[in-house]
Chain A
């Protein structure tokens, strides 16, 4: 589903980079060349990417949980199939992104352990609960919608494996976004109770969706460096504005009210101006104090613990098979 610009400071690399190599690297970036796994890259570039790609991967796999919460209660067989396929896509994105991160010299196991230990971040949005079926519509419409805004530019990001992964992921996300909007449309054209369900979900998801773009540019820790390396191509606030501009008319079409009394159309710039985002809430949720932080990590830890014997069995069996093949080979010689 989505990476979030969390903007925490990266540790300063201990190595002092060779200025000549650094300049050559920057020249390649400036020439819009893709950086590939075996190419030389500054340590800070590598670390920034590992952090960003792994956070994105974690977000995908944690994001399976709030939606999975409605798999057994999807209100029609068609919706059940679409939701299951969507969550499966998210898992696939996770797998893809972990593989992209591995090209930078870190293992998926190591990254996943960091997530389970609570040391790695994932998108704050998944720490909110899915309380009604309309939340599934809102996640598709708003959360995947925000993801697309953020990820379309990532298709041109300077690191090759990440850019290529994003191209495929974006195609699927845009499908999810349309599905989500269609759920909302069906609810809004349904009974008054269904429409109220849709409005209630929008009320709860709107602000967290805006927070998905990360802190305001004024508080950004390293947007500038990421922009120079073309890991990032737009700032958090630019992307947030694009999202608001695209989404407000969609809400109006649904006949829903955006829960922001300050929202107004700015004739001069053609932008929708939105009210103040509660950044304290954002910081709190990122710090681990959102409505579902504990449950989400607990669910993943539980699955990991309960699956340990399965992974051990698979390894043990593979080792036995290797030993048998070796014994056969020796016997044949």
Chain B
């Protein structure tokens, strides 16, 4: 099937941003399956990936309803090209080492836990229901990954060094989480999504506490990456989609 064209209303765009972020992050986590440092983490990372994949599916189904053109969750996932993906850049970065994955998942969860908590009061009833489910899941992700962040930061010299390097690499991608463009503003004003500024203090407090426990310094204020929300991605997303969408692209219209 050829690439589909989506007429994005602000509401649809906002839902796709969340859906794409969950899917892309689930995909990256799933790359660990069978290759984690210990069997327990094979299971745990797969579990987190499954939660995120479940969130993505619900969000795509909601997007399909909002669009009202009879599309399916798979159309959104498999038949859009990279510039049409709306995920935060932090989600698409390659999995890196275990420290990179843990730091990323901790930062993202530290943002999304309060985000979903607030979104559970959304005027969009479907989104509110998805948020209520996601909030419980992300609370666990934060607990699990936060505990690892502390272990790695306060573990050995090597683990400290690796975790610090991951934090330095990932921190410049956290600014995008708080970006509010015209779509974001419209959704905040309509009571569909929370204002990220209300999330910032909770995010900061969580990160500060974990970094302190992990004996890691807080990264200094720095230039922040941006672009994912408007489809300007890193070089990595195209490769990820080429793999992910391979069968749907090679056998157009086939049912799997």
Contact = CB atoms under 8 A, between A and B. Distances in A.
B39 interface: yes
Nearest to B161: A309
A320 B153 CA distance: 12
Contact of A81 (B39, B43, B57, B159): B57
Contact of B34 (A78, A87, A194): A87
Given A133-B247, A317-B151, A310 B43 contact: no
Contacts of B131: none
B30 A61 contact: no
Contacts of A91: 33-34, 39, 42-43, 46
A77 B35 contact: no
Interface string A124-152: 00000000010000000000000000000
B223 interface: no
Interface string B34-56: 11111111110011011001101
A98 B31 CA distance: 24
A79 B256 CA distance: 8
A64 B38 contact: no
Interface in A61-92: 61, 64-65, 68, 71-73, 75-81, 84-85, 87-88, 91-92
Contacts of A317: 150-152, 154-155
B27 A72 contact: yes
A309 B159 contact: yes
Contact of A88 (B27, B33, B158): B33
Contacts of A320: 154
Interface string B66-103: 00000001100110000000000000000001100000
B162 interface: yes
B248 interface: yes
A65 to B, nearest CB: 5
Contact of B35 (A98, A302, A308, A313): A302
A310 B247 contact: no
Interface in B1-50: 23, 27, 30-31, 33-43, 46-47, 49-50
A299 B97 CA distance: 15
B222 interface: no
Main secondary structure of the interface of B (DSSP, over half): helix
Contact of B73 (A77, A92, A190): A77
B156 A77 contact: no
A309 B162 contact: yes
Contact of A84 (B35, B46, B98): B46
A94 interface: yes
A72 B155 contact: no
Contact of A314 (B34, B77, B155): B155
A306 B39 contact: no
B243 interface: yes
Nearest to A64: B34
B37 A307 contact: yes
A332 interface: no
B221 interface: no
A307 B56 contact: no
B218 interface: no
B38 A307 contact: yes
Given A64-B33, A193-B251, A92 B43 contact: yes
Nearest to B76: A77
Given A77-B60, A81-B54, A186-B255, A303 B35 contact: yes
Interface string B98-124: 100000000000000000000000000
A312 interface: yes
A311 interface: yes
Interface string B242-254: 0110111001001
A76 B33 contact: no
A38 interface: no
Contacts of B73: 77
A59 to B, nearest CB: 13
Interface in B200-256: 240, 243-244, 246-248, 251, 254-256
- The residue in B155, B243, B246, B255 that gathers the most chain A C-beta atoms within 10 A of its C-beta is B155
B152 A95 contact: no
B187 to A, nearest CB: 24
B224 to A, nearest CB: 29
Contacts of A183: 256
A131 B246 CA distance: 13
A60 to B, nearest CB: 9
Interface in A176-213: 183, 186-187, 190-191, 193-194
A106 interface: no
Contacts of A85: 46, 50
Given A303-B34, A314-B151, A309 B254 contact: no
Given A68-B33, A191-B254, A309-B159, 9 more contacts: A73-B247, A75-B248, A77-B77, A87-B33, A88-B33, A92-B43, A306-B97, A313-B155, A313-B158
26 contacts: A61-B34, A68-B33, A71-B30, A71-B33, A73-B244, A75-B247, A75-B254, A77-B57, A77-B60, A77-B74, A80-B53, A84-B50, A88-B42, A88-B43, A91-B42, A183-B256, A186-B255, A191-B254, A193-B251, A307-B98, A309-B158, A310-B37, A312-B158, A313-B155, A316-B156, A317-B151
